Structure 1
Amino acid sequence: MTQQPPGYGPPAYGGYGPPSPNHPQATTVLVLGILGIVICGFVAPFAWVIGNRVVREIDAAGGRWGGRTEANVGRILGIVGSALLILGAVFIGVFVLGGIIAASSS
């Protein structure tokens, strides 16, 4: 039988405690981000703004809230959806302006 060095106890078993509950709006941000990309681009800016706030609140909570991954993914999808919304508006604006110029020059 081997002896342990003095000052050391038996190895600890167990591990981490229960996971922190998700922030109440983390899933909402994720859903808004997905909807902003897939269905309706007008909700993407909301995912971006709310996602920024939720990620800040999770970071400031010191481990009391989880769900940072969901909120961050929703925020990023909101940024991408907002960019696509702006590009779509510019694209439509160019065609409308081009049509007006073409119609007035005829």
Structure 2
Amino acid sequence: MSDAEPPGPNPYQPQQPPQPPQQQNPYYPQGQQPQQPYGYQQQPAGYGQPQYPAAPYSYTPPAPAHPSANTAMVLGIIALAGIVTCSGLTLVLAPFAWAIGSKAVREIDANPTMYGGRSAASAGKVMGIIGTILLILGIIAIIAVVALVVVSDTSTTYSTY
């Protein structure tokens, strides 16, 4: 039993790579080496990236945006942009932007760690309010024009010659 082989290297222990031999720098006289730059620290030999100190604060990623926040903002943009491009027909989307934005802002304020995107929800809410006001003014204007046409049409008398 004395003929047993000695145990080999431990496979679970990381092995250090062989170090290259130190070479003389031809640009410096014998025995002198260049000085290290200010703040330079020699990294230990081994694998991986250099180790940096931990941040002095803890980082928490931002909460994901509320699912309805962007919907409210897009509806508000479409409602207001439609004034120019579609003769105001898209203003009917403004009350929906207002309602969805208000609900999203309430839910974000109730649980800010779970939901983000308050600015998008608020923007949708504000654009929805503006669009709804413009929609109401437009409806009032249409009713006034129709009323003027009806009143002017009945007051005109036609004479037959």
The separation in 2 between residues aligned to 1:63 and 1:46, in whole angstroms, is 26
Equivalent residue number for residue 89 of structure 1: 139
The structure richer in helix per residue is 1
Residue 26 (str. 1) matches residue 76 (str. 2): no
Equivalent residue number for residue 13 of structure 1: 56
Could you state the TM-score of these two structures normalised by the residue count of structure 1? 0.85
How many matched pairs? Answer: 96
Residue 57 (str. 1) matches residue 107 (str. 2): yes
Larger radius of gyration: 2
Query: Where does structure 1 lack aligned partners over 5 or more consecutive residues?
Result: 1-11
The percentage of counterpart residues that share the same residue type is: 44
RMSD: 1.5
State the shift of 1:13 in Å: 2.1
The separation in 1 between residues aligned to 2:58 and 2:72, in whole angstroms, is 31
SS at match of 1:64: coil
Equivalent residue number for residue 6 of structure 1: none
Could you state the TM-score of these two structures normalised by the residue count of structure 2? 0.57
Residue 47 (str. 1) matches residue 97 (str. 2): yes
